[in-house]
């Protein structure tokens, strides 16, 4: 199993949320079939899917196995910072706003 943590785009988060009936908006036919296949795959085949579709695999893994996965995907789909929950943006690749991604040191000197 891969140990990397791919970036989940807002549209992918919304598609996976919709598939599981937790909000978001529906994907197209092809992407919906992909989500369905990944969600039913065993570990070996899910790893194979991750080679081509790491964002969908990460989102499905989050919603299925992480107790905070739904909240995390809702934040991503809405464009909120996953740490402070603001929409001030722009968000970095780590899904954090710039202030959370580059916090000021405690001594105040950057």
CA neighbor of 62 nearest in space, from 17, 10, 3, 2: 17
Rg (CA), the chain: 15
- Residue 84 in contact with residue 75, Cβ under 8 Å? no
pLDDT at 103: 72
The residue written with tokens 């899910």 in the block is: 46
Exposure of 18 in the CB half-sphere (CA atoms within 13 A): 17
Report pLDDT for 92.
81
Domain boundary assignment for the chain:
10-78, 81-110
pLDDT of residue 86: 82
Provide the pLDDT for residue 3: 54
Residue-level pLDDT at 1: 46
The predicted structure's pLDDT at residue 42: 95
What is the residue whose two structure tokens read 């369905």? 36
- What pLDDT tens digit does each residue of the chain (110 aa) get? 445 578 899 999 999 999 999 999 999 999 999 999 999 999 999 999 999 999 999 999 999 999 999 999 999 998 888 888 887 778 787 888 888 887 767 776 65
């Amino acid at each position: 199993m891969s140990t990397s943590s791919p970036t989940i785009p807002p549209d992918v988060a919304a598609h996976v949320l919709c598939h599981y009936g937790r909000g978001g908006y529906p994907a197209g036919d092809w992407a919906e079939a992909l989500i369905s296949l990944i969600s039913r795959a065993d570990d070996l085949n899910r790893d194979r899917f991750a080679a081509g579709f790491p964002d969908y695999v990460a989102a499905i893994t989050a919603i299925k196995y992480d107790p905070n996965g739904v909240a995390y995907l809702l934040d991503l789909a809405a464009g909120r910072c996953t740490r402070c929950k603001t929409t001030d943006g722009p968000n970095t690749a780590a899904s954090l706003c710039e202030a959370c991604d580059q916090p000021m040191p405690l001594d105040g000197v950057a």
